[in-house]
């Protein structure tokens, strides 16, 4: 199966554009490593913005109780799609009564023509609770969350669907989606949107509106979705940052209705474009008895079983000639753990003749020159980096740091033409504001005791070689940091063929300027050069 006509024409245009580079030269990674570039924070811009209120039209509930809302798609395989939605009314208060999922069916009616639905698929439904048995704290129980897996679809084809319960005459309006191509070195999604640390602010609104205008085929959401844990259970604002303490609370609180508002906010996009998620620290949401991630794990369907994973925290999937591996930073990532074992097997199964591109995603960056979260997940890097390098991962997307940063190809803190291109896009628009301090700015290097991760150990190190030898921080922008800027935005990856992909970072302040954007580069694969070079690399990491 080849590309759909739209994808083919888009890729053809990009290839011609690359070959004939006209007015503005777009660099390629073959020209790197590049001298580090920093665009300082534009003081004329807001560093942050307030959250949208729950009664905002994009967050408020509009569907009657038995009708579907918060409809979202996720890729299961090139020939199957997850459809998820919510019915019923969530409850919040000192005493709540969970709904009975068996009272509402989970059905998706679908077909290849608008208004005609010859096929039906049924799925499962569930609820979750966020309980705080402490005086003064409110409990929450969700609406009924439905997940249906549609199978037997044709790749690269458009389908029309409704979801809900036909026995109650409670079906949604018609929506449509396009399946992605089969694994094929000559077939790719048209545009892959990448966004992280989104939240629900007016900046988030600008990001999503801009992203929608860019008409992606799929979305990578790299963690920290709603920031519901910035609120008390009463809905009052809690703390301005994740690391701040709740001085008078026995537990970190969260206001779960923000999740419902976020689902409604995203529905115009996610009801027609599949969104693939990975968890961030703001999804932890601890309860008593060690319960964590209840909302995240219940609300999102991911292809974990389809990819041989026993956990929704890590999984993989194919989209045309791209293999995506989604990793979890807040579950065991050690070389002796289940995630590492799964990742090793998954990487060994990848056929680079069919999926030449290998893209990895998780939430906290390993390479980061901002003061915020500096070296925070160094332990994870030391455990996993060598395995990803040996399998020639092409691109790594992360969030967590609320700014944009693209790295030169790097491995083990050393410039390496066969290392991945690491890109941080934790600048979706959340309430914690954009990060503006760099670890190499005078007086901004954090202490080794700072930036402790919410999960895992601390492996902060001083460098034993290179420009930062003997230091914890560089005294200038690191040589592996190619471009950094403190602005909100999102990215679009357009894979052209098995060798070239165009990466564009779109800043929010450029949304109304035609053909305007921030960083842009062609990422170029060199499999012949790199495959032989890295086979002998040991599975260890020492700087």
Adjacent-strand bridge partners of 150: 81
Contact 187, 2 (CB under 8 A): yes
Beta bridge pairs of residue 74: 82
SS3 212: helix
Enumerate the H helices of 44-171 as residue ranges.
Answer: none
Is 210 assigned a catalytic role?
no
**Cβ neighbours for 486, distance < 8 A, ≥ 6 positions apart:** 39, 40, 41, 403, 404, 434, 435, 436
The catalytically annotated residue of 146, 363, 373, 438 is: 373
Spatial separation of the C-alpha atoms in residues 58 and 261, rounded to whole Å: 8
Tokens 């395989």 correspond to 77
Cis peptide leading into residue 447 (ω within 30°): no
CA atoms of 291 and 384, how far apart (whole Å):
26
Q: What residues are paired with 348 via a beta bridge?
A: none
Pairing of β 357-361 and β 395-398: parallel
- Strand, coil or helix: what is 73? strand
- Joined tokens for residue 358: 């290998």
Helices (H), 131-256: 202-213
The residues carrying an active-site annotation are: 373
């Amino acid at each position: 199966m080849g590309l759909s006509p739209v994808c083919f024409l888009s890729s053809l245009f990009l290839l011609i554009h690359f070959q004939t580079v006209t007015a503005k030269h777009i660099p390629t990674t073959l020209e790197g490593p590049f001298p580090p570039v920093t665009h300082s924070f534009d003081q004329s811009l807001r560093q942050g913005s307030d959250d949208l209120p729950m009664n905002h039209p994009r967050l408020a509930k509009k569907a009657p109780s038995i009708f579907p809302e918060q409809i979202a798609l996720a890729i299961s395989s090139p020939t199957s799609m997850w459809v998820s939605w919510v019915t019923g009314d969530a409850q919040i208060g000192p005493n709540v009564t969970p709904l009975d999922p068996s009272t509402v069916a989970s059905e998706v009616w679908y077909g290849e023509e608008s208004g005609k639905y010859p096929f039906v698929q049924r799925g499962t439904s569930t609820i979750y609770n966020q309980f705080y048995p402490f005086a003064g704290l409110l409990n929450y129980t969700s609406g009924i969350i439905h997940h249906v897996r549609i199978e037997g679809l044709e790749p690269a084809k458009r389908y029309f669907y409704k979801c809900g319960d036909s026995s109650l005459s409670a079906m949604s309006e018609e929506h449509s989606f396009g399946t992605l191509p089969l694994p094929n070195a000559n077939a790719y999604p048209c545009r892959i949107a990448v966004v992280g640390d989104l939240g629900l602010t007016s900046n988030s609104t600008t990001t999503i509106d801009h992203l929608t205008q860019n008409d992606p085929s799929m979305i990578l959401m790299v963690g920290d979705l709603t920031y519901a844990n910035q609120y008390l259970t009463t809905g009052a604002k809690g703390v301005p940052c994740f690391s701040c303490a709740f001085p008078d609370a026995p537990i970190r609180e969260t206001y779960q209705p923000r999740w419902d508002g976020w689902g409604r906010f995203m529905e115009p996009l996610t009801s027609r474009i599949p969104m693939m998620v990975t968890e961030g620290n703001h999804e932890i949401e601890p309860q008593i008895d060690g319960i964590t991630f209840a909302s995240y794990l219940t609300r999102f369907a991911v292809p974990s079983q389809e990819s041989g994973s026993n956990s929704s925290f890590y999984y993989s999937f194919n989209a045309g000639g791209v293999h995506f591996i989604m990793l979890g930073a807040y579950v065991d990532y050690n070389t002796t753990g289940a995630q590492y074992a799964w990742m090793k097997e998954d990487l060994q199964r990848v056929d680079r003749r069919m999926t030449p591109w290998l893209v990895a995603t998780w939430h906290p960056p390993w390479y980061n020159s901002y003061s915020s979260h500096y070296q925070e997940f160094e332990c994870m890097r030391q455990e996993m980096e060598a395995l990803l390098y040996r399998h020639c991962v092409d691109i790594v997307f992360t969030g967590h740091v609320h700014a944009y940063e693209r790295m030169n190809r790097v491995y083990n803190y050393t410039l390496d033409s066969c290392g991945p291109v690491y890109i941080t896009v934790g600048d979706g628009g959340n309430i914690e504001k954009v990060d503006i301090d760099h670890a190499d700015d005078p007086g901004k290097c954090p202490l080794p005791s700072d930036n402790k991760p919410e999960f895992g150990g601390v492996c902060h190190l001083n460098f034993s070689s290179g420009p930062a030898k003997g230091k914890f921080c560089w005294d200038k922008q690191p040589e592996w940091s190619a471009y950094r800027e403190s602005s909100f935005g999102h990215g679009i990856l357009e894979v052209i063929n098995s060798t070239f992909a165009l990466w564009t970072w779109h800043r929010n302040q450029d949304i109304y300027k035609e053909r305007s954007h921030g960083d842009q580069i062609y990422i170029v694969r060199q499999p012949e050069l790199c495959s032989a070079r890295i086979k002998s690399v040991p599975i260890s990491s020492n700087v």
